[in-house]
């Protein structure tokens, strides 16, 4: 909805945000030709925030994935080690997918 079907920052919600989403296809170019896997993972899971002007609009997907697990297992509880592995796998899968989209 935000970054768009082709990850160019032109999703249907982009114009409604305070700051337009960036193109996710230029991450490698902006990092001197190397795709920054760990930096991207940290932004996706919420360990680091982007330098957005105004309120932070990019959701921390790590927190959302934790809520998904809690919902699927019947409510709030401690996140078990195997849940953390599932969350980590989902985040790494997103990172690897983004790596395939680079211009």
73-92 average pLDDT score? 76
47 alpha carbon, distance to own chain's centre: 11
Query: Could you tell me how many residues make up the chain?
Result: 103
Query: Tokens at residue 31, please?
Result: 């990092």
> Is 80 among the domain residues?
yes
pLDDT attached to residue 88: 87
pLDDT at 102 over 80: yes
Asked if the structure places residue 70 within a domain, the reply is: yes
Which pLDDT value is given to residue 50? 58
| 69 within a domain of the structure (yes/no) | yes
Query: Rounded to the nearest 10 degrees, what angle do helices 61-72 and 37-45 cross at?
Result: 60
> Could you tell me how far CA 6 lies from the centroid of its own chain?
15
How many structural domains compose the chain?
Answer: 1
């Amino acid at each position: 909805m935000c970054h768009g079907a082709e990850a160019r920052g032109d999703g249907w919600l982009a114009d409604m945000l305070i700051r337009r989403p960036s193109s996710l296809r230029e991450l490698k170019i902006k990092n001197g030709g190397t795709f920054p896997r760990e930096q991207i993972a940290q932004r996706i899971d919420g360990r680091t925030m982007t330098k957005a002007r105004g309120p932070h609009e990019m959701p921390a997907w790590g927190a959302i994935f934790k809520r998904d697990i809690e919902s699927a297992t019947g409510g709030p509880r401690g996140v078990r080690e195997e849940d953390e592995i599932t969350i980590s796998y989902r985040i790494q899968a997103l990172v690897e997918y983004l790596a395939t989209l680079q211009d």
